[in-house]
Amino acid sequence: MSKEWPLWEIFIRGQHGMSHRHVGSLHAPDEEMAIKNARDVYTRRNEGVSIWVVEAKHISASSPEEKGPLYEPSNSKVYRHPTFFDIPEDVGHM
Amino acid sequence: MQDQDALFQFLLRMGDNTLVLGHRVSEWCGVSPVLEEDIALANTALDMIGQTQFWLGLAGEVEGKGRTADDLAFLRDVWDFRNVLLVELPNGDFGQTLMRQFLFDAWASIMLGHLMTSTDKRVADIAEKASKEVAYHVERSAGTVVGLGDGTPESHAKMQAALDLLYPYVGELFESDDVDAAMVSAGIAPDPASLRDAYDALIERVLTEATLTVPASKFTHKGGRTGYMHTEHLGHMLTQMQWLQRAYPGATW
């Protein structure tokens, strides 16, 4: 058995209405302690209103070697960005 | 005893508890077993030092001799401290530190709950602010006590040893004297003895979950909160805590 606590990825929501954002990782023996540790490590300057913790092993990641097939086909397709619309000024920032 | 004298003594007791324990806990800064606990303990220590500023600040105001919280913290010697003996004991191992923290946090959470209804608004305001911090402290220390108590055979044995060592210091938190009687009659603070049942219920629940056995004897070491006699450990701690102001009087940042 490993003597190290498992690694947890920490996501914090800064304000109501915003999405949770990855802020870093830490070690903890279980999910409750992971939340407590995240509170102490990442929110002591009033950064958050909500904490998610996910054990790192449960995150599946894309492989950097596959970046060609994954991302390059969209390089030449600028029309996929919705930048060809005129937005009235009084709409403000979208 | 004059009411203001009694209030001053009461405030010293509150402030010295958080000052001495806050300093003790800060001794873990940089040397805790894991980074996360290091930060958590430093946060707890800072919370307690913050509470100390309020309690001793008000104490200085009530005393009326122009002493600040800093004066009271750094320029008194051992015999003038009014903290319970529990908080001045050396940290021991990590488990012992967390056991002491839990035994103190449990008391503080109950005490502050009562002080929030104090007739002295200044006391009630400090209690309200501190109680939010202490609610988290007791959740965290209780969780760690359960985790380690109900952990491996080694961690269980260490936590039981810590409880056996520290429990004979718990009773001092519930001693009552004429300072307390004056606080009760003025409606400023509850009789410490009246908090014992709630305290026993709280720690019993947590320590049972932690598979630990509370010692049967209610014998208690005491003398800190009355100033009758401290352990030899407090003086050594003060040589660390106070050395800068002693060596360089009036030094500021």
Nearest CA in chain A to B47: A44
Chain B residues touching A5 at Cβ < 8 A:
34
Average pLDDT over residues B16-39: 95
pLDDT exceeds 90 at position B247: yes
Output the pTM of the full model: 0.88
| A64-78, B72-86, B94-108: range with lowest mean pLDDT | A64-78
Mean pLDDT of all residues belonging to chain B:
96
Minimum distance, in Å, between the CA of residue A28 and any CA atom of chain B: 8
Minimum distance, in Å, between the CA of residue A48 and any CA atom of chain B: 16
pLDDT at B243: 96
Sole residue written with tokens 């529990």: B86
pLDDT at A1: 47
The range of the structural domain enclosing residue B40 comes to 3-247
pLDDT exceeds 70 at position A89: yes
Give the Cα separation of B7 and B186 in Å (integer).
10
Q: Closest Cα to residue B77, out of B248, B235, B244?
A: B235
The beta strand positions in B89-240, using DSSP E, are none
pLDDT exceeds 80 at position B85: yes
pLDDT at A78: 78
Judge: A37–B40 Cβ closer than 8 Å, yes or no: yes
Nearest CA in chain A to B147: A29
Q: Closest Cα to residue B144, out of B127, B129, B162?
A: B162
Sole residue written with tokens 């003038």: B80
pLDDT at B240: 95
The verdict on B147 touching A (C-beta cutoff 8 Å) is yes
Is A47 within 8 Å of A14 (Cβ atoms)? yes
pLDDT at B194: 97
For chain B, how many structural domains are there in total?
A: 1
What is the ipTM metric for this complex?
Answer: 0.73
A32 closest CB neighbour out of B36, B43, B143: B143
Chain A residues touching B143 at Cβ < 8 A:
32-33, 36
Nearest CA in chain B to A36: B140
Determine how many CB atoms are found less than 10 A away from the CB of residue B247.
8
pLDDT at A4: 85
The verdict on B40 touching A (C-beta cutoff 8 Å) is yes
Give the Cα separation of B74 and B178 in Å (integer).
27
Average pLDDT over residues B138-162: 96
Q: Which amino acid is at B207?
A: L
Chain A residues touching B35 at Cβ < 8 A:
26-27
Determine how many CB atoms are found less than 10 A away from the CB of residue A38.
25
The pLDDT > 90 percentage for chain B reads 96
Determine how many CB atoms are found less than 10 A away from the CB of residue B157.
12
* Residue B210, domain member (yes or no): yes
Structure confidence at residue B196 as a pLDDT band (50, 70, 90): very high
Higher-pLDDT residue of B42 and A65 is B42
Judge: A44–B43 Cβ closer than 8 Å, yes or no: yes
| A41-50, B63-72, B168-177, B229-238: range with lowest mean pLDDT | A41-50
Judge: A37–B143 Cβ closer than 8 Å, yes or no: no
pLDDT exceeds 70 at position B126: yes
* Residue B161, domain member (yes or no): yes
pLDDT exceeds 90 at position A81: no
CATH code of B242's domain = 1.20.1260.10
The verdict on B35 touching A (C-beta cutoff 8 Å) is yes
B37: left (phi over 0), alpha (psi -120 to 50) or beta: alpha
pLDDT digits (tens, 9 = 90+) for A27-70: 999 999 999 999 999 988 878 889 999 999 999 988 888 887 77
pLDDT exceeds 90 at position B42: yes
Chain A residues touching B147 at Cβ < 8 A:
29-30, 33
The verdict on B33 touching A (C-beta cutoff 8 Å) is no
Cβ burial, residue B152 (10 Å; 0-12/13-18/19+):
exposed
Cα–chain center distance at B78: 16
Give the Cα separation of B35 and B183 in Å (integer).
42
Is A34 within 8 Å of A28 (Cβ atoms)? yes
Minimum distance, in Å, between the CA of residue B207 and any CA atom of chain A: 18
Average pLDDT over residues B209-227: 95
Residue B219, token pair as written in the block: 């014998």
Chain B residues touching A3 at Cβ < 8 A:
none
pLDDT at A85: 79
Residue B162, token pair as written in the block: 């810590």
pLDDT digits (tens, 9 = 90+) for B154-194: 999 999 999 999 999 999 999 999 999 999 999 999 999 99
Q: Closest Cα to residue B114, out of B104, B127, B102, B133?
A: B127
What totals of helices (H) and strands (E) does chain A contain, helices first? 2, 3
pLDDT at A2: 61
* Residue B171, domain member (yes or no): yes
pLDDT at B44: 96
Q: What are the phi and psi torsion angles at B65 (to 5°)? A: -110, 15
pLDDT exceeds 90 at position B74: yes
Q: Return the residue in A40, A44, A47 with the most chain B beta carbons within 10 A, the one to mutate for interface testing.
A: A40
Higher-pLDDT residue of B126 and A81 is B126
pLDDT at A94: 64
The pLDDT > 70 percentage for chain B reads 99
Put simply, the chain A residues between 28 and 87 with a CB less than 8 A from any chain B CB are: 28-30, 32-33, 36-37, 39-41, 44
| A43-52, B42-51, B224-233: range with lowest mean pLDDT | A43-52
Q: Closest Cα to residue B101, out of B87, B81, B115, B83?
A: B87
Q: Which amino acid is at B37?
A: E
Q: What is the 3-state secondary structure (H, E, C) of B33-78?
A: CCHHHHHHHHHHHHHHHHHHHHHHHHHHHHHCCCCCHHHHHHCCCH
- 3.40.50.2000, 3.10.20.520, 3.40.640.10, 3.30.429.10: CATH of A7-61: 3.10.20.520
